[in-house]
């Protein structure tokens, strides 16, 4: 228990802007020395455990606060999804954990962080070169911040998920330790590698299959796990825009349109808007698509060959439910050449009240810039725009392709050894992202070669999973009492 009371004022100060290098990038010895000094001031063992501060706020109040800016009729869907299990609650509780992490020790080494690095925010997707890679795939909360916050959120997510699956305490500990050890070891290799080697390092599907094959040959996983992994990768390869098109689109009176499946997917005509508002919304989306073109990376971009067809509102994720999210059907050469984009509202990161505000005035740009920095390869259609809505309110959005070879772990079926392998993939991937986005030499020097940090984070994960269960109970009670309304999704 309890490192939350450790005094952290003596830690090397985290800069107030995105310029967070502690030493000139070319001065590798100075960067390593900075990491060693940070470790002396804030020992690795200080990250162990979690004790809630005496003045810790009400978790339900924080959720109510988030709901204020969200679409009112969608908030009960968010609560229903969080009510499914403590793990689903954890997925939707990024703000709660950010508030808690703000009271924990900091190394003083800042990097671009995901801000919501739980295990379900990792997965496989297609690179622009059409290869299948494993990476972080959600950056709604990205911001410069303490790298260890991402590590702690990832580790605790494995502890919470392991409890959900009924793993023993020892099995859960092995999974959590694997995630942190993988992070530490990959960071050390990145720190020792050449500059371009570290920058372009990534984990692709071939490496994942090779891992699984080696584990099977060593009798550490069963044939069933090998088949399940291969099937998952194959499924991800099949989840391209054409498959999304076949599931989401229908033809009505000879015209393509997005199929309504309320309340999760609702076509613009079926939203019950006032007369003329639907047409205004479609004009608004056409303008956004035109204006967002300037934020795309290529001078000549394939988006120019597509034209708008139809629009629908779509509920996505767990924590994001209630933010404004749309899917847009576009047409290329003909009806057999479709593209579906996701247009998602970007609000201030939950980290901003505890760290510095983003340097970007547009939160869509904050998300996209962070994603481009941390990911090994980003979506070709990833961009941002601020628009004035038909309701007269300006909002920030980011846009990306929907379902381009995407897939993630199914925690409902994962077994302990499979969870260890997945934890290794996530830990290594997080290290690669931090190595690109921050100072890999300083972080590696802070971590050192021993497992002291690993063990500290494993203790934190256990204690924080306990806190998550207490918060989930309070949330469940708030729904039962009528304080919060949860939709019936059965």
What is residue 5's predicted lDDT score, i.e. its pLDDT? 33
152: Cβ contacts below 8 Å, ≥ 6 apart? 47, 101, 104, 457, 460, 461, 464
One domain for residues 266 and 356: yes
What pLDDT is stored for residue 235 in this prediction?
Answer: 66
Q: Is 285 contained in some domain?
A: yes
Look at residue 339 and tell me whether its pLDDT is greater than 60: yes
Contacts of 280 (CB under 8 A, 6+ apart): 390
- Mean of the pLDDT values across residues 331-360? 94
Domain end residue (candidates: 401, 418, 438):
401
Give the distance between the most distant pair of CA atoms in the chain: 71
* Domain identity same for 355 and 445: no
Residue 7 resides in a domain:
no
Average pLDDT over residues 283-294: 94
Task: Report which of 175, 205, 247 is spatially closest to residue 423, judged by C-alpha positions.
Answer: 175
> For residue 126, what pLDDT is reported?
73
Q: Is the pLDDT of residue 21 over 60?
A: no
Q: How confident is the model at residue 26 (pLDDT cuts 50, 70, 90)?
A: confident
Q: Say whether both 80 and 225 belong to one domain.
A: yes
Q: Are residues 78 and 158 in the same domain?
A: yes
Has residue 177 been placed in a domain?
yes
Residue 366 lies in a domain: yes
Which one of 352, 376, 401 terminates a domain? Answer: 401
Segments forming the whole domain that contains residue 223:
28-235+409-481
Q: Which has the higher per-residue pLDDT, 232 or 396?
A: 396
Contact 422, 13 (CB under 8 A): no
> Pick from 245, 238, 246: which is nearest to 330 by CA?
245
* 146 within a domain of the structure (yes/no): yes
d(CA 271, CA 6): 52
Sequence-distant (6+) residues with CB within 8 A of 461 are 152, 155, 156, 158, 159, 176
437, part of any domain: yes
d(CA 373, CA 18) in angstroms, rounded, equals: 12
Report the distance separating Cα 87 and Cα 109, nearest Å.
29
Domain identity same for 52 and 122: yes
* pLDDT at position 373: 93
Task: Tell whether 207 and 291 lie within a shared domain.
Answer: no
305 and 397 fall within a common domain: yes
Name the domain boundary from 348, 367, 401.
401
Residue 379 pLDDT > 90 = no
In a domain, 16, yes or no: no
**107 vs 123: CA distance, rounded Å:** 28
Q: Looking at the structure, do residues 414 and 309 belong to the same domain, yes or no?
A: no
Using a pLDDT cut of 90, give the percent of the chain over it: 67
Question: Is residue 470 scored above 50 in pLDDT?
Answer: yes
Residues 347 and 441 grouped into a single domain: no
Residue 20 lies in a domain: no
pLDDT digits (tens, 9 = 90+) for 119-154: 999 988 777 666 788 899 899 999 999 999 999 999
Whether residue 321 sits in one domain with residue 439: no
pLDDT of residue 255 exceeding 60, the answer is: yes
Q: Per-residue confidence at 6, pLDDT binned at 50, 70, 90?
A: very low
Calpha distance 292→67 (Å, rounded) = 27
Query: Using one digit for the tens of pLDDT, what is the confidence trace for 152-194?
Result: 999 999 999 999 999 999 999 999 999 999 999 999 999 999 9
Domain co-membership, 262 together with 353: yes
Say if CB 437 and CB 374 are below 8 A apart: yes
Structural domains counted in the chain: 2
Report the chain's mean pLDDT, rounded to a whole number. Answer: 88
Residues 213 and 361 in one domain: no
Average pLDDT over residues 267-273: 91
- pLDDT value at 19 more than 70: no
């Amino acid at each position: 228990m309890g490192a939350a009371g450790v005094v952290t004022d003596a830690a090397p100060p985290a800069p107030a802007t995105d310029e967070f290098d502690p030493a000139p990038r070319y001065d590798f010895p100075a960067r390593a020395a900075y990491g060693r000094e940070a470790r002396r001031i804030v020992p690795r063992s200080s990250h162990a455990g979690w004790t809630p501060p005496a003045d810790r706020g009400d978790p339900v109040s924080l959720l109510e606060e988030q709901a204020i800016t969200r679409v009112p009729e969608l908030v009960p869907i968010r609560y229903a999804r969080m009510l499914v299990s403590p793990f689903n609650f954890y997925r939707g509780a990024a703000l709660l954990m950010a508030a808690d992490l703000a009271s924990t020790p900091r190394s003083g080494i800042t990097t671009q962080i995901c801000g919501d690095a739980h295990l379900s925010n990792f997965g496989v997707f297609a690179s622009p070169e059409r290869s299948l890679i494993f990476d972080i795939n959600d950056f709604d909360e990205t911001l410069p911040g303490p790298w260890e916050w991402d590590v702690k959120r990832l580790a605790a997510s494995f502890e919470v998920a392991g409890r959900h699956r009924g793993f023993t305490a020892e099995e859960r500990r092995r999974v959590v330790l694997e995630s942190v050890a993988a992070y530490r070891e990959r960071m050390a290799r990145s720190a020792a590698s050449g500059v371009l080697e570290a920058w372009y390092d990534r984990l692709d599907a071939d490496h994942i299959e090779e891992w699984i094959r080696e584990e099977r040959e060593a009798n550490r996983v069963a044939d069933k796990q090998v088949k399940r992994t291969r099937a998952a990768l194959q499924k991800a390869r099949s989840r391209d825009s054409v498959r999304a098109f076949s599931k989401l689109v229908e033809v009505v009176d000879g015209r393509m349109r997005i199929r309504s499946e309320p309340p999760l997917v609702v076509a613009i005509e079926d939203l019950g808007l006032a007369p003329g508002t639907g047409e205004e919304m479609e004009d608004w989306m056409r303008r956004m698509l035109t204006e967002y073109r300037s934020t795309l990376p290529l001078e000549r971009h394939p988006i120019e060959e597509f034209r708008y067809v139809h629009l629908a509102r779509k509920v996505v994720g767990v924590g994001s439910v209630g933010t404004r999210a749309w899917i847009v059907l576009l047409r290329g050469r003909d009806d057999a050449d479709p593209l579906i984009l996701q247009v998602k509202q970007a609000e201030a990161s939950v980290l901003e009240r505890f760290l510095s505000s983003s340097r970007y005035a547009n939160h869509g740009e904050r998300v996209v810039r962070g994603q481009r920095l941390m990911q090994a390869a980003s979506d070709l259609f990833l961009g941002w725009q601020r628009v004035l809505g038909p309701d007269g309110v300006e909002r920030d959005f980011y846009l990306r392709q929907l379902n381009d070879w995407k897939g993630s772990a199914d925690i409902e079926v994962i077994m302990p050894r499979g969870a260890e392998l997945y934890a290794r993939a996530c830990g290594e991937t997080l290290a690669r992202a931090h190595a690109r986005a921050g100072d890999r030499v300083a972080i590696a020097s802070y971590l050192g070669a021993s497992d002291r940090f690993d063990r500290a984070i494993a203790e934190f994960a256990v204690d924080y999973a306990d806190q998550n269960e207490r918060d989930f109970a309070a949330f469940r009670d708030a729904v039962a009492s009528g304080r919060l309304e949860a939709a019936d999704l059965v």
